[in-house]
Structures are given as C-alpha cells and as structure tokens.
A and B are shown apart, each in its own frame.
Chain A
Amino acid sequence: MEEGTFQRIQPWERVADQQQNAGSLSQSSVASAEDLRLVEALRSGNESAFVSLVNMYHSLMLRLAMIFVPSETIAEEVVQDTWMGVLHGLDRFEGRSALKTWIFRILTNRAKTRAQREGRSVPFSSLPEFTTELQEPAIEPERFHGPDHQWPGHWVSFPRSWEEIPEERILSQETMTRIQEAIDTLPVGQREVITLRDIEGCTSEEACDLLGVSEANQRVLLHRARCKVRRALERYFEDE
C-alpha cells in the first residue's frame, strides 16, 4: 500500500529503509566495548558468546516479532532466521550502532517482510491509526467531573489503592496473564514501545532509535500503553 508523506509518520517507515544496510548506519548509540568484545568472540566462533547473546535478546526478539506476525510459530522462525542473519552479517557490523539496535533492525526487517508474505499489512505505516494513538486521552474522560461541575477535571471517585493486595496476587501467574492480554489488545505502536521500555527495560534512546519515533511521541505512546494496562489491572483487582 502506498503511504502518505506526512513528515511525522515517516520515521516509522525510515526504519525499514535503514535495515537494508543496518551495519553501516551512523547511530547516536554506538557499540559499547562489551558489544565489540562479543562480536569479536562470535567471529572467532566462541559458542558461549553466542549463548549469552541469545540469553540477552532472544525473548525480546520473539516478543517483538509477535507484534508483526500472526503466530508464535512464525515468530520463532523469524527469530531463528534473524540469528542466522546476525551470524552471517557479523563481518558487516562496524560498531557504529549498538549491537542490540543492529540485531533488532535485522529482526524488524525480517518480521515485516514475513508479515507481508503472510498477508498481514505492516501496521506502523497506518497514518490514521498512529495519529489516533497520539491524540486519544490516556484515561477515560468519564472518570473526571465535566466542565460544568464545581470541580472540573477532578476525579469522580478516586482509584482504589492496591496497597492491600497481597504481593503473591500482584505477581501471580494470573496477573501476568491479564497483563499480557492487555498488551495484546494495544495498538501496535503502543505495544512495541511498552514491550521495549517496560518489559525489556530498553532506554528511551534505544526505543526511539529502533522505532524511528521522536522522544515526545515515544512518551505519548508509552503513557497510553501504561494507562491501558493499569486500567486492565484495576478492573481485574476490583473484580474480586
């Protein structure tokens, strides 16, 4: 599908272009000494270097791939294919971007290509969806008093604190399942930002770099996503 040329959306698109020659990109976050050491170890065929890289990034890669492709099986194939691409592309890694960024670019590139082959449109390019994502309020307006009220914009009723909820419940498998379900329903931009930032602990610089969004837009998407997950948890905790 031919997309618009609206400037604010183009950075999403640019990521895909950059992936073509990801290794030679000039990036703000360059490879760390640890990155270079790992790459050198990999080039010399050191298996434990590969294992530590897999341990660091595999689950995040799978999670990211899942954003694009329709099933976990396909996501696993994409990730395996990415690891192959990483190994075969090692000689092209010049350390001008962080290793993580370089790997994730290869991954998102392959995931998008695969998604297209599976007949899934690549969602980032959808301008109306992205604009809506940036404009909608994070919290339902009906939680607050309207403009005619004595206290406009103030809570109709305060959210109930979760302090009383036992930690076992907070960290239970069921709670985790609810969180995952909430994430699965998020628009793709929000899903990707919350995955990178809050689940996998990437810095905002890494997330912006990888997704090609501005810091400000990244924060908006992150806030929307966090608020929706919080709301899902609120409903879940209040149910019982």
Chain B
Amino acid sequence: MTNSDQNELNCQQVVELVTDYLEQALLPEKQAQFEQHIEKCPGCDTFLEQVQQTIMMLRKLSEQQTFPETKQELLEIFQNWKQDESKSDFPMI
C-alpha cells in the first residue's frame, strides 16, 4: 500500500473534488487519480454516488412547484400590455 505516495489522493481530498470531477473540470492526471481512488475506496464511492443522487433529487424539486394562481394574473398583465401596444401602434393623425 502506498498511502504516502504523493500521487495518491486521500479520502478528504477526493470528496472535495467530486463536483470538479462531475463537471469534467479535472486535469487528466488528477482525474485518473480520482478514479483510481474511487475504484478501491467504498466510502468515497458511496459519497460520489450520494452526491449524484442528491443532484437527481434537487432536479425533482423543480418539477414539484407550480404556481397556478399567479398564471391568471400574468395573463392579465400580458393582455393589458397587448392593449397598450396596439394603442401605441395606431398611426397618429
């Protein structure tokens, strides 16, 4: 085991790189170190998976909220605007 090897990342370093990894923002060498670590470390593998699950759940949050009560008011805003616009489009005599 080469824990002291400078090229190896420890768990604390790996968890800090998860978003950079998912965003494909790691340099190739760092990415390889990250992947090597994840392959042999169940804790970091679980952590990475949980961050991905968290992202999936966050995405669900946007599907949850609809605001039907405001839609009607928005349509009124649109209709009022349209009326104003057509008035101002009317040729001046």
Q: B62 touching A219 by the CB < 8 A rule?
A: no
Among the listed B11, B19, B57, which residue makes an inter-chain contact with A175, where contact means beta carbons less than 8 Å apart? B57
Q: A83 touching B74 by the CB < 8 A rule?
A: yes
Number of B interface residues in the complex (CB < 8 A): 45
**Interface residues of chain A: helix, strand, loop or mixed (majority):** helix
Pick the most buried of B15, B51, B64, B82: most chain A CB atoms within 10 A of its CB. B15
Q: B57 touching A170 by the CB < 8 A rule?
A: yes
**Interface residues of chain B: helix, strand, loop or mixed (majority):** helix
Query: Which positions 59-90 of chain B face chain A at CB distance < 8 Å?
Result: 59-62, 64-67, 70-71, 73-75, 77-79, 81-82, 85-86
Q: A153 touching B81 by the CB < 8 A rule?
A: no
Beyond A80-B77, A151-B3, whether A176 also contacts B11 by CB under 8 A is no
Q: A204 touching B23 by the CB < 8 A rule?
A: yes
Q: A198 touching B58 by the CB < 8 A rule?
A: yes
Query: Which positions 59-91 of chain A face chain B at CB distance < 8 Å?
Result: 59-60, 62-63, 76, 79-80, 83-84, 87-88
Provide a sorted-by-A list of 11 A–B residue pairs whose CB atoms are within 8 angstroms: A51-B71, A83-B77, A84-B81, A151-B3, A153-B10, A153-B13, A155-B11, A155-B44, A199-B58, A201-B62, A219-B23
